A and B are shown apart, each in its own frame.
Chain A
Amino acid sequence: MLSLQTERQVPRKVVLVGNPNVGKSAVFSRLTSRYVTISNYPGTTVDLFRGRARIQGRDYEFVDTPGIQALHSQSEDEQVTSDVLRNEKPDLILQVADGKNLRRTLLLTAQLSKLKRPLVLALNMKDECDERGIQIDAQALSKRIGVPVVQTTAITGDGFPEIVDHLDSKEFCSLNGHPPSEWVEEILQAVRTEDEGEERWTETKTNLLSAAVVLGALVHLENYLGAWLGLPTLYGLLGNWLQPSETLAGSAREAVRLVIAYLLPVLLPFLFALRSDSRFNERFGIWARKFSTGIPILVVALSVVYQMVGNLGAQILVDILENGVFAGYLTPLLRALVPAGLVHDFLLGEYGAISVGLTYGIAIVLPVVASFFIAFSFLEDSGYLPRLAVLSDRLFRLMGLNGKAFLPMILGLGCVTMATMTTRILNSKKERLIATVLLALGVPCSAQLGVILGIITGISPLATAIIFGTVLLQLFVVGLIFSRILPGKRSDFVLELPPIRYPHWKNIAQKTGLRVKWFLKEALPLFVLGTVILFVLDRLSLLGFLVAGVQPIVTGLLELPSKTATVFFLGFLRRDYGAAGLFDMARNGLLTTQQIVVSLTVMTLFVPCIANFFIVIREQGLRNAFLITAFISGYAIAVGALLNMAINFVGLVL
């Protein structure tokens, strides 16, 4: 039988709105089954995400928006949300809120009600309310404000059937914008009760856990200190059982040794405490934002990340993949299959798409990117990063920014391109421009950082310090200069600190997977493309001309071998690819330590990659993008030349 219901149905548009970091993206993901990046700090979502879903026979279009403090806010990400609400006339506004902060929530509800659209209020994070003994009478609240109120826990899915029940609601909110002091407190009194949350843990247990974490951190640090003082270390002791060697099994043993000596002592008690004791989380949150305790915590955190990414990822995983899989099996196998000739050279020659392009991308860069993203996702979800913004605020102020800029900067260590979009959370145009320049200039992305870490383990600590010192100094100098010459003002530092939470492994895995996939899609084709271009240029004997053209700069000014010119050329496509080329040269003994220092500094300061260039065009306009690129290219070479001269002048032996 034909049904008359087949008329095309326009999907109901539901816009998710709310204060920053309340879980809008988590709710969105659950409603649409489409994963969007979720983290524990304000400003994860800086753009709109749309997703469709068919729920109980009806089509919906859900829109996830960047969090807003108020409806008429000023930063660019918040503007996106205001625009969508005003221009798209949603059929329903689903206000997602943190149940713990009902006052803030209702202030925003009152503003949203002026839009005269149907509204549903979802009080999220019910689990955390329960833990803290906060109880909200959803029905009483619903009566007061005239719209459905549901309590949810987005990560478990608790309360979602109720959301679905109200998706067709036509109720308008009855709150309107009287001075809040007159009505907010009265509503809060009527619907919210607070008592002491259930205490599963006593003060003594929290103290014991804290002690275990501190002890673990000390064991972790003793591995360095003991080696330096000639005392026995856990790492050294394990050497008796886990003898590292040149073989593949040796690499695996070394990995186990690293994990046991450096990671387990500090991570095990820490993870256990984070997971089981909310009082520990609160305490850690305080430690992390105080100067006296925050700095030691930062040192340990950096060291743990270094061990995971620089040592485990960049050394051992790279070794296993490159020497084990690629050099051990894949390349010899292909060499045997492909007869000598053009095809062979194209795939496996000096500029071979497989022997160079794929090997660099998959064997050298991918393990580093993956291990970095695991560590980084953990930091994101724990709520630790905004506390570092507090610690670094005063430093950023000298560069015409404020502590809030720490978030895009540190995100840049993951991917400079994504981070350039995140500069939207900054409140003034001037700050956005400075942050964009600094990101492009001197924040190495995970891929590049990993390759750098791979190279520096082979050179002296002094040489390492010179590289990182020079790059950091440039960030500072350029920030300082730009903050003086650019018009405009920096904004005041006001930042919300999320609670410290135990990260969910599922979210970390999803986020890492998403980012790795993105890397494979974005970077790998460029790696291969770059190699192919080199191959063609080489075949046509044009490469020699190109190299000769930049000869005065490369061999004259920077005193590097002429092959470095091709590597710099690769750096134009992606600077991590260029760094991978340097890695290869360094390993084959083609570079002296001084040359490594100079070339690596130039490469780190270089323009990041083509993808970043396009994002800068989108965010800052064509003119600014070209100016930034020209400035950075010149600046990178100038700094490299000066550095080389300085080392020569002082007569430093590295």
Chain B
Amino acid sequence: MNPEVELRLFGFGLFPGIEIELLQRFPSYIIRCERTEVALETSVASQVRVTVVR
């Protein structure tokens, strides 16, 4: 992943082992991380590896 983007996602509290919620896929991906909703474009979202827990 682009280190710059990684840093920015880290700033939202998005680091390995965190539980996030996928809220929307179009027109942008939107995830909820803690109480923050973050919009990500597809190319960024595709680099976030997740395991479905629920």
Contacts and interface: CB of A to CB of B under 8 A. Distances in A.
Interface of A: 19, 68-70, 72-74, 98, 100-104, 107-108, 132, 134, 180-181, 184-185, 285-286, 289-291, 386, 389-391, 393-394, 397, 402-403, 427, 491-497
B34 interface: yes
Given A180-B15, A497-B30, A389 B39 contact: yes
B49 interface: no
B26 A492 contact: no
B12 A492 contact: no
B38 A70 contact: no
Given A69-B12, A180-B15, A492-B2, 10 more contacts: A72-B7, A100-B36, A181-B17, A185-B17, A289-B30, A403-B28, A403-B39, A492-B43, A493-B44, A497-B37
B37 A496 contact: yes
B9 A101 contact: no
B41 to A, nearest CB: 4
B8 interface: yes
A98 B37 CA distance: 13
For the complex of A and B, the 8 pairs showing the least CB-CB separation, nearest first, are A69-B11, A100-B35, A493-B41, A103-B13, A104-B13, A497-B37, A70-B11, A495-B39
7 contacts: A100-B36, A403-B39, A493-B41, A494-B9, A495-B38, A496-B12, A497-B39
Contacts, number: 104
B2 to A, nearest CB: 7
A102 B34 contact: yes
Contacts of B39: 289, 386, 389-390, 393, 403, 493-497
Contacts of B9: 494
B contacts with A: majority SS: mixed
Contacts of A19: 11
A107 B13 contact: yes
Nearest to B11: A69
B38 A101 contact: no
Interface string B4-23: 11011111110111100001
B28 A393 contact: yes
B36 A104 contact: yes
Nearest to A105: B13
Interface string B22-52: 0110111010001111111101100000000
A390 B30 contact: yes
Interface residues of B, number: 30
Given A107-B11, A180-B15, A74 B27 contact: no
Contacts of A103: 13, 18, 34
B13 A494 contact: no
B40 to A, nearest CB: 6
A497 B38 contact: yes
A73 B30 contact: no
B44 to A, nearest CB: 5
Interface of B: 2, 4-5, 7-13, 15-18, 23-24, 26-28, 30, 34-41, 43-44
B5 A494 contact: yes
Contacts of B2: 492
A288 B30 CA distance: 13
A394 B44 contact: no
Contacts of A107: 10-11, 13
B10 A492 contact: no
Contacts of A185: 17
A496 B40 contact: no
A101 B34 contact: yes
A88 to B, nearest CB: 22
A394 B5 CA distance: 18
A290 B34 contact: no
Contacts of B13: 101, 103-104, 107, 184
A124 B38 CA distance: 20
Contacts of A290: 24
Contacts of B17: 181, 185
A43 to B, nearest CB: 14
B22 to A, nearest CB: 13
Contact of A291 (B16, B27, B40): B27
Given A69-B12, A494-B39, A394 B27 contact: yes
A184 B43 CA distance: 28
B10 A70 contact: yes
Contacts of A101: 13, 34-36
B34 A494 contact: no
Contact of B40 (A73, A108, A493): A493
Contact of B27 (A98, A286, A393): A393
A492 B41 contact: yes
B8 A69 contact: yes
A66 to B, nearest CB: 14
A181 B35 CA distance: 18
Given A69-B12, A494-B8, A291 B26 contact: yes
A289 B24 contact: yes
A494 B35 contact: no
Given A70-B10, A492-B44, A494-B44, A132 B35 contact: yes
A506 B43 CA distance: 41
Given A100-B34, A390-B27, A496-B12, A70 B44 contact: no
A481 B41 CA distance: 22
